[in-house]
Amino acid sequence: MEEYADEPMGMGTALVRTAFLVDTVYSDAVRQFDLTVQQAQLLCVLIPKPFGMFELAKTLGLAKSSISGLVDRCEKRGLVRRESDPGDGRAFRVALTDKGAQLAEEFHDETTKRVADLPLGLSVEERELLVGLLTRVVADNHVPVVFTDSGCPSAKGCTES
């Protein structure tokens, strides 16, 4: 039974239902691009620069063995490559290939647009307020940077799609 009551919600319920909504949109985009959620997160994390395995595991919240398998699967698809780490000859970094960079940018842009369209029923002022409040919640809870908005300066935020 589906209920879409317009009744007031508590903070926890509102945030969980919002997370469910965003997760649904994200999952739909992942399927469209033939990725898993973890593969999409990895590609988006790597958009700005290559990362070492330890940094990736920490950022994505995965165990070392899980990140190794994820990188292996993405490497087999031609989306990432391992390259030597100039700061440590024994280590390597993970970087996007040209194919991976193109897929990452397309996925990122499409997903950002879809999620940004969710609050279009709000006024511009309400969307700006929402962005500011959500930015504070993310910062206060030290959420790792797994998705960025390179088109929007962090000090201003972005409220338009």
Report the CATH number that the domain containing residue 34 is assigned in CATH: 1.10.10.10
Taking each helix axis from N to C end, the angle separating 11-32 and 98-116, rounded to the nearest 10 degrees, works out to 140
pLDDT given for residue 67 in this prediction: 92
Tokens read off for 156: 């201003």
34 lies in which domain range?
Answer: 26-120
Q: Give the span between the Cα atoms of 67 and 34, in whole angstroms.
A: 19
Does 149 map to a domain?
no
In the predicted structure, residue 122 carries a pLDDT above the cut 60: yes
> Between the CA atoms of 84, 33, 145 and 129, what dihedral angle is there, to the nearest 10 degrees?
160
In the predicted structure, residue 156 carries a pLDDT above the cut 60: no
In the predicted structure, residue 33 carries a pLDDT above the cut 80: yes
Does 145 map to a domain?
no
Give the residue with greater pLDDT, 9 vs 4: 9
| Cβ(43)–Cβ(74) below 8 Å | yes
Share of the chain above pLDDT 90, in %: 67
Tokens read off for 157: 């935020």
Does 12 map to a domain?
no
Burial class (CB in 10 A: 0-12, 13-18, 19+), 55: middle
With cut-offs at 50, 70 and 90, classify the pLDDT of residue 155.
very low
Total number of domains constituting the chain: 1
Q: Give the span between the Cα atoms of 74 and 135, in whole angstroms.
A: 30
| Cβ(97)–Cβ(136) below 8 Å | no
Distances (CA, A) of 59 to 87, 105, 130, 142, 145: 20, 19, 25, 11, 7
pLDDT given for residue 158 in this prediction: 44
In the predicted structure, residue 157 carries a pLDDT above the cut 60: no
42-101 pLDDT per residue, tens: 999 999 999 999 899 999 988 888 999 999 999 999 999 999 888 777 888 999 999 999
pLDDT given for residue 93 in this prediction: 93
- pTM: predicted TM-score of the whole model, two decimal places: 0.80
